[in-house]
């Protein structure tokens, strides 16, 4: 796993940085600079991302119950977040928890066991071996962490693409709505009532991540103090190796990638069995992994319907 230092660079004058301001005055030659026009005017700057290549963060959700450390639960939510600053694009790639893969510490098993066997590092190594992606950081949370995050932020604003019954009797209706922490957790945990089971569930995990990102950008645009609230709430409820100062750079630069430039997809495989248990067999070589590993993102036109289940 690579530990990278994000390089902050000067944003171009034309960039709409940080989403905090509006149009600025045009530059004119010094000799003809008019007196400052009385009225309202703005200036702004925020650091932007400029690295040597894409940035990859592994986002994990543990099913650890109370009394069990997060790092020893089964990892039922596994997503690679690829960010390409130069292309101002990103991709959220879900890996099904039942993917039958070589585990970095030895043997072959469902990928969600790698966390319980050897903690976040083992999970990182396993995903790197599977996808060919070199991960920069990981972020890990659990049931309670997820609930606390969204409750502290006043709920999760999300556009649900289709109606379905949650696994604990909540009915989710199609459309824009705000979910409480408990509702967001149930949204992410529901599998059996979805037509493509765990593939759909993984897609919903990606929807939650994208909705949270969209909400963060919108709140930051209105009020820069939102940065503090989001980072504080996030850091208090996750385990991560992202240094705080680099997290801040990512947060500042979030405005450079609009939600429409983030693709959400799931690595699809065939259903099989291994040792009597149902597993997912991912194709190898895997074109989706190769695409993401190359530059951190997959263009919408390169996503097959299979990789973007919609219930």
Among candidate residues 233, 208, 213, the one with its CA nearest the CA of residue 158: 208
Q: What's the CA gap between 97 and 111, in Å, rounded?
A: 6
Stretch near other proteins under the rule CB under 8 A, chosen from 46-54, 170-178, 195-203, 206-214: 46-54
How far is residue 9 from each of residues 6, 54, 58, 201, 217, measured CA to CA in Å? 9, 15, 24, 38, 20
Interface with other proteins, residue 95, by CB under 8 A: no
| Whole-angstrom distance, CA of residue 36 vs CA of residue 42 | 12
Q: Which of 4, 157, 229, 261 binds other proteins (CB under 8 A)?
A: 229
Binding mask 4-33 for other proteins (x = CB under 8 A): ----xxxx-x----x-xx--xx-x--x--x
The single residue among 1, 4, 45, 68 that binds other proteins, judged by CB under 8 A, is 45
Binding to other proteins by residue 43, rule CB under 8 A?
A: yes
Give φ, ψ of 197 to 5 degrees. Answer: 45, -125
* Beta carbon nearer to other proteins, 161 or 243: 243
Interstrand relation of 137-141 and 55-62 (parallel, antiparallel or unpaired):
parallel
* Tokens representing residue 248 in the block: 């801040």
CA 73 to the chain's CA centroid: 20
Among 5, 65, 222, 236, the residue binding other proteins under the rule CB under 8 A is: 236
- φ/ψ of residue 27, rounded to 5: -75, 140
Interacting positions 241-280 with other proteins (CB under 8 A): 244-245, 248, 252
Structure tokens at 108: 């072959």
CB of 41 to other proteins, least distance (A): 5
For other proteins, the binding residues (CB under 8 A) are 8-11, 13, 18, 20-21, 24-25, 27, 30, 33, 35-36, 38-48, 224-225, 227-229, 231-232, 235-236, 244-245, 248, 252
């Amino acid at each position: 796993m690579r530990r990278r230092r994000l390089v902050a660079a000067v944003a171009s004058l034309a960039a709409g940085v940080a989403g905090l301001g509006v149009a600025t005055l045009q530059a004119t030659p010094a000799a003809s600079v008019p007196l400052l026009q009385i009225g309202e005017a703005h200036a702004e700057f925020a650091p932007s991302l400029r690295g040597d290549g894409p940035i990859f963060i592994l986002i994990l959700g543990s099913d650890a119950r109370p009394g069990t450390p997060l790092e020893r639960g089964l990892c039922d939510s596994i997503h690679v977040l690829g960010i390409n600053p130069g292309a101002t694009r990103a991709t959220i790639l879900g890996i099904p928890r039942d993917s039958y893969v070589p585990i970095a510490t030895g043997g072959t098993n469902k990928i969600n066991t790698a966390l319980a066997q050897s903690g976040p590092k083992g999970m990182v190594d396993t995903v790197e071996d599977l996808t060919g992606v070199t991960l920069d950081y990981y972020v890990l949370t659990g049931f309670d962490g997820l609930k606390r995050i969204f409750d502290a932020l006043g709920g999760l604003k999300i556009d649900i693409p289709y109606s379905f019954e949650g696994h604990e009797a909540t009915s989710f209706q199609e459309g824009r709505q705000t979910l409480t922490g408990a509702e967001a957790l149930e949204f992410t945990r529901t599998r059996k009532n979805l037509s493509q089971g765990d593939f759909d569930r993984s897609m919903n995990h990606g929807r939650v991540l994208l909705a949270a990102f969209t909400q963060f950008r919108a709140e930051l645009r209105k009020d820069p103090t939102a940065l503090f609230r989001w980072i504080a709430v996030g850091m208090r409820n996750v385990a991560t190796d992202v240094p705080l100062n680099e997290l801040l750079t990512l947060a500042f630069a979030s405005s450079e990638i609009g939600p429409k430039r983030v693709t959400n997809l799931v690595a699809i495989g065939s259903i099989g069995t291994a040792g009597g248990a149902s597993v997912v067999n991912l194709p190898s070589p895997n074109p989706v992994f190769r695409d993401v590993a190359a530059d951190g993102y997959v263009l919408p036109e390169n996503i097959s319907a299979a990789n973007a289940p919609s219930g």
